[in-house]
Amino acid sequence: MERVFRVLLSRDDWYHQRGYWVIANALKSAGMEVILGGIQTPGAIARTALNEDVDLIAYRIMQAAPDMVIRALFQEMKANGIMSIPVVVGGIISDREEKIIRELGVKAVFRSFDKLETIQEYVKAIAAESFVET
């Protein structure tokens, strides 16, 4: 039986909601359990990830400076002892910002016109890669 991965899906603003819901449905239809975090600060994301025992964090960033937000998220994750949870990011991310956040530890960056099948495959593969059965 294939493992059902738990994905926390969070976002940074009230606007541009369509993509958030499309990704939530795509991950769910790919057999993942999606925890809808809604609009969350990095601290709230880390606490939710810990409390919900998620396998992966997916963060949609449209408004904030991705490098600053991801630095803050990783600081919060480290403080909560959950640095083993992989993070993927989607949204409006420049090539320069992508390079920086990947160097910080983000596993994948998805953009508006990436195919849903590709996102589903990558998210499952990244979650599986970091999963350690206890």
Q: What is the pLDDT of residue 119?
A: 97
Q: What is the pLDDT of residue 1?
A: 56
Q: What is the pLDDT of residue 14?
A: 82
Contacts for 56 with CB less than 8 Å, ≥ 6 apart:
5, 6, 7, 8, 85, 86, 87, 88, 123, 126, 127, 130
pTM over 0.85: yes
For the chain, what is the radius of gyration of the CA atoms?
A: 13
Strand stretches in 1-123, DSSP E: 6-11, 33-39, 56-61, 87-91, 108-110
CATH for the 6-120 domain, from 3.40.50.2300, 3.40.50.720, 3.40.50.300, 3.40.50.280: 3.40.50.280
Q: What is the pLDDT of residue 132?
A: 62
Q: Tell whether the torsion through CA atoms of 84, 121, 52 and 129 is positive or negative.
A: negative
- The domain ranges of the chain are 6-120
- Tokens representing residue 99 in the block: 């390079």
Longest dimension (CA), the chain: 40
Low-confidence ranges of the chain (pLDDT < 70): 1, 132-134
